[in-house]
């Protein structure tokens, strides 16, 4: 579903602040795969997701989504193929617009927007149904502005928006990092449920090793712009936190000092 070949990305190229973010990344994600991605700060996980989404132009390499070479596509054009949830709960929704207006915007992802009414009469029932499945009581607040929602409610809503038009690939960029542990667990469970029910292909960046191990059928560990661990299927299922730490030390040549990645 996603093929990346020789992707290289350097920020501030040619300046004193030059920073190599991704080095020659080659990766192939199959249909229905749920990939979890871990790594320390600055490892390049979020950069990789943003390169796939078209937020940053890449220096070299090719990105293909569902067979189409999207390397030169703009961010909004790629959006037709991608569902995205961000780390910042503010980023996924328009806070001055109502829940149903946000859903209606998302429901037209990849389609032409004309002078038809912004929310068609038939849509509301579907939205209510999907909101009810979240179990957060949002179905009775469809005309509330999303600015009034909590971080967890907003992330759950953004998740629904991302899958309203079934995406070829769902990109989750630390979407539970800004939430308290209980809410994070709830949003993650919902995420997993949606991915399983719809058979989605997904990539989830996380700082939490236990989450990376508990969810998905494939695990990538990144370090300094490279993929250093790629565990799938049975291999991944057998992994434990200690194994990850050991793998990290062996692959990177030094011990993991990032407490946040360990404990969170």
Q: Which residues contact 80 (CB under 8 A, 6 or more apart)?
A: 109, 110
Identify the CA nearest to 137 among candidates 99, 172, 108, 102.
Answer: 99
220 contributes a contact to other proteins by CB under 8 A:
no
d(CA 263, CA 239): 17
CB of 117 or CB of 254, closer to other proteins: 117
The H or E element containing residue 19 is: strand 19-29
Among 94, 189, 214, 251, binds other proteins (CB under 8 A): 94
CB of 133 to other proteins, least distance (A): 21
Token pair listed for 5: 């070949």
CB of 5 to other proteins, least distance (A): 24
Strands 218-223 and 202-205 turn out to be: unpaired
**Tokens 């661990």 belong to which residue?**
229
Site string for other proteins, 45-74 (x = CB under 8 A): -x------x--------------------x
For residue 50, the 8-state DSSP code is H
166 contributes a contact to other proteins by CB under 8 A:
no
257 contributes a contact to other proteins by CB under 8 A:
no
39 contributes a contact to other proteins by CB under 8 A:
no
Q: Which residues bind other proteins (CB under 8 A)?
A: 41, 46, 53, 74-77, 79-80, 82, 84, 86-97, 101-102, 104-106, 108-111, 113-118, 147, 150-151, 154, 161, 174, 177-178, 207, 260
């Amino acid at each position: 579903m996603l093929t990346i070949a020789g992707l290289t990305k350097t920020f501030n190229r040619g300046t004193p602040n030059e920073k190599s973010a991704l080095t020659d990344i080659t990766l192939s994600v199959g249909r229905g795969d749920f990939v979890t991605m871990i790594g320390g700060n600055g490892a390049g996980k979020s950069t990789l997701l943003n390169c796939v989404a078209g937020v940053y132009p890449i220096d070299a390499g090719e990105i293909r989504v569902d067979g189409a070479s999207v390397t030169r596509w703009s961010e909004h054009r790629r959006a037709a193929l991608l569902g995205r949830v961000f780390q910042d709960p503010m980023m996924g929704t328009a806070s001055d617009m109502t829940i149903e207006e946000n859903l209606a915007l998302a429901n037209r992802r990849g389609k032409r927007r004309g002078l038809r009414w912004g929310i068609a009469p038939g849509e509301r029932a579907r939205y209510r149904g999907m909101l009810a499945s979240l179990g957060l009581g949002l179905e009775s607040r469809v005309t509330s502005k999303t600015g009034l929602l909590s971080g967890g409610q907003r992330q759950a809503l953004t998740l629904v928006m991302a899958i309203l038009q079934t995406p070829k690939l769902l990109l989750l960029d630390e979407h539970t990092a800004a939430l308290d542990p209980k809410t994070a667990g709830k949003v993650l469970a919902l995420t997993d449920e949606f991915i399983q029910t719809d058979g989605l292909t997904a990539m989830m960046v996380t700082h939490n090793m236990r989450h990376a191990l508990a969810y998905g059928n494939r695990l990538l560990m990144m370090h300094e712009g490279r993929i250093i661990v790629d565990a799938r299927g049975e291999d991944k299922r057998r992994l434990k936190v200690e194994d990850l730490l050991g793998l990290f030390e062996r692959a990177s040549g030094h011990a993991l000092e990032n407490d946040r990645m360990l404990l969170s």
